[in-house]
Structure 1
Amino acid sequence: MASLPFWLLILIFIVAVGAIWVAGIQLSRYTDVLAERFHFGAAFGGLILLAIATNLPELAITVSAASQGNLSIAVGNILGGVAIQTVVLALLDLIGVRGVKSLTYRAGSLALIVEAGLVIAVLSVVIAGSQMPPGLIFFRLTPDTVLIAAIWVAGLVLVRRAGNGMSWYDGGQAPDSQPEPMGHSRVIQEEMATSAGTSTAKALTAFLIAALITLLAGVALERSGSVIADRAGLSGIFFGATVLALATALPEISTGLAAIRMGDYKLAVSDIFGGNAFLPVLFLVATVISGQAVLPEAQAADIYLTALGILLTLVFLLGIAFRPQRKILGMGIDSVFVFVLYVVGTAGLLVVSDF
């Protein structure tokens, strides 16, 4: 793509963004249908399927970038994706939640605090892994990326146990939160598909087509975005953490809004935390494909993004714990803090990455 004119690169990027938006909506919808049809919506395998399905754009970008040795784009997209998808929660609070109560007040649940803790845990290993020697690699694997994957799997076990009820008052559900159980919107999606005459074979076919379109669009985003960043004089880290991360977060925005419209506030928050916990697992994929120890090559901007992701997640963790009810500027005070921190943090990233 390096030989293409700039306007055509922009057009390819925009078309790929649109494809991810449309295909991502269908992918999420049919993932819910298939999860219910095969009875693993809340099971361990279902959590893995949902995490992978909602992060297919990031997976495609990571594979494409790692295969070309362009690790800065992959690293920036993964870590920037964690930060910007956390900001999506603030956006959902602003444009999706109606009434006087904030998103984190309605989504009060100890299970969500466990998920937020899992995100912080895997991001902490990212920081630790950046200090490992680059030569510490065996069979195209490094201890840090393996540990991230192990923590993610162990975290899924804890999240599932928390979802089945914790030894706290009312099973860990806060009083006056959403009355329906988390995930009830997925049941509604399946019932709507059944009423529309959608067979399991049709749902599976639609899922695979949407997944393929999402993967191809993700590759197009990475290839065109890399050239656009070079010609615009932007660093791969900054571009991957902002523009590219926002483009790949579009499906989370649409699916989050859909869950909130059905009153499934807890699921909207859970999907974001679940996706953010999975994203650092892609470092394992990047290491296997590139044959390089990815995290020891992390730059100052990468560590900066990791710290920003931890900070934003911590704000919402405290928001779920303290459940601020009052809204400011149409959203909870925790969402306001997240917006402000992200804007300030992105400005700081410009300084750290030198564009």
Structure 2
Amino acid sequence: MLIEIGVFAGGLLLLVLGADAFVRGAGGMALRFGISPFVVGLTLVGFGTSVPEMAVNMTAVLDGRTDLAVGNIVGSNIANVGLILGSAALVAPLTVQMRMLRVEMPLLLLSCALLWLLALNGWLGRFDGLLLLAGFVVLMGLIASQARSEPEAVQEELGHSATARGGVVINGTRIVLGFAGLLGGAHLMVDSAVDLARLWGIGELVIGLTIVAIGTSLPELAASLVAAWRGDVDIAVGNVVGSCLFNLLLILGASAALRPLPIESSMLWVEIPLMTAFALAIYPLARGDLTLGRRQGLVLLAAFAAFMGYELQGLY
């Protein structure tokens, strides 16, 4: 068991390092080919922290581990709100912009409802996956249009986030090495997670909902904690909500388009409703002064701990 845990941790480290190299290389290459820093920065901010989930899900789907793939996405979204947003709120009070409550949050809740409706027949088929991907295209168009209406200082900040040193050779090397790290890390994580599930006597769905989901959410956790520490509270909240939308529409959509995903009944009546409930909880917790403080952060962390306890009760 200790060996498998070590392999999982090594795979996770390789996955995170590979994701960082790949994103930096892709951003630098895009700039070298004349794409505007604003567009590159907007894409990197939205997609960068979701690369580990994408790598793990594509690997799991290709290996036929569809339960693990579905569990990873739903579990990651629960971890995003409960663990990451809760932890960031302990570092510094998080301001929730009214626009987020009126636009991004309804879009997230709509995506949760769409997933539930599509999965009612017990499957996410290829057409369902394409429908989710179409929703992602619409989302990106909306984000781009909104971002261009932001103040010039915000657009400059997005452009600054796209800066990457090096020419075509250096950035090409980053892409190749990063992609190799993503593939290797994802395979190590998936294989060791399956072995741990067998050793612990739990299903692959549960292992995906718990340790795999937490592992692939670590980049979001690091980004949100650093943003909260620096006082960039808008980034901390926006990073979580944006990642949840990317997970549901892009990653789960691409997974289902690649291979139809069976949906267990417990997902329909327990985990997907819980994922929606975690997202809904932001509304009452942020009411009044539109701030998630330390008390609200503790509530989210306690709810996440209860979720983990429920999922892992078979280990006791």
TM-score range, shorter chain: 0.7 to 0.9
Q: Could you tell me which residue of structure 2 aligns to residue 151 of structure 1?
A: 135
Equivalences for residues 101-250 of structure 1 within 5 A:
102-103=93-94, 105=95, 107-111=96-100, 113-132=102-121, 134=123, 141-142=126-127, 144-165=128-149, 181=154, 184=157, 187=160, 190=163, 198-199=166-167, 201-250=169-218
SS of 2:61's equivalent in the other structure is helix
Alpha-carbon separation, structure 2, partners of 1:121 and 1:41: 31
2:53 is aligned, of 58, 62, 86, to 58
Structure 1: which 5+ residue stretches go unaligned?
A: 1-5, 166-170, 174-179
Q: Could you tell me which residue of structure 2 aligns to residue 91 of structure 1?
A: 87
Alpha-carbon separation, structure 2, partners of 1:14 and 1:151: 34
- Per the TM alignment, residue 77 of structure 1 is displaced from its structure 2 partner at its CA by 0.7
Structure 2: which 5+ residue stretches go unaligned?
A: none
Q: Do the aligned partners of 2:285 and 2:292 also contact (CA within 8 Å) in 1?
A: no
SS of 2:154's equivalent in the other structure is coil
- Per the TM alignment, residue 225 of structure 1 is displaced from its structure 2 partner at its CA by 0.7
Q: Could you tell me which residue of structure 2 aligns to residue 306 of structure 1?
A: 272
Alpha-carbon separation, structure 2, partners of 1:24 and 1:220: 15
Say if 2:258 is the partner of 1:289.
yes
Q: Which has the larger radius of gyration?
A: 1
CA RMSD, 1 decimal: 3.4
Q: Could you tell me which residue of structure 2 aligns to residue 255 of structure 1?
A: 223
1:315 is aligned, of 268, 281, 292, to 281
Q: Deviations over 1:69-123 (max 9, x none)?
A: 221111111110111122312212223x3xxxx11x2x53514752222222211
SS of 1:132's equivalent in the other structure is coil
Say if 2:5 is the partner of 1:19.
no
> Residue 57 and residue 110 in structure 1: after superposition, are their counterparts in 2 closer, same or farther (change >3 A)?
same
Q: Do the aligned partners of 1:73 and 1:239 also contact (CA within 8 Å) in 2?
A: yes
Q: Could you tell me which residue of structure 2 aligns to residue 168 of structure 1?
A: none
- Per the TM alignment, residue 21 of structure 1 is displaced from its structure 2 partner at its CA by 3.5
> Residue 88 and residue 33 in structure 1: after superposition, are their counterparts in 2 closer, same or farther (change >3 A)?
farther
Alpha-carbon separation, structure 2, partners of 1:93 and 1:41: 31
- Per the TM alignment, residue 300 of structure 1 is displaced from its structure 2 partner at its CA by 0.7
Of residues 13-22 and 234-243 in structure 1, the stretch that sits farther from structure 2 once superposed is 13-22
Q: Normalising by structure 1, what TM-score? A: 0.74
Q: Could you tell me which residue of structure 2 aligns to residue 346 of structure 1?
A: 308
Of residues 115-124 and 45-54 in structure 1, the stretch that sits farther from structure 2 once superposed is 45-54
Q: Deviations over 1:230-288 (max 9, x none)?
A: 11112212211111111111112223334445543322322222221121233333333
Alpha-carbon separation, structure 2, partners of 1:237 and 1:183: 42
> Residue 234 and residue 11 in structure 1: after superposition, are their counterparts in 2 closer, same or farther (change >3 A)?
same
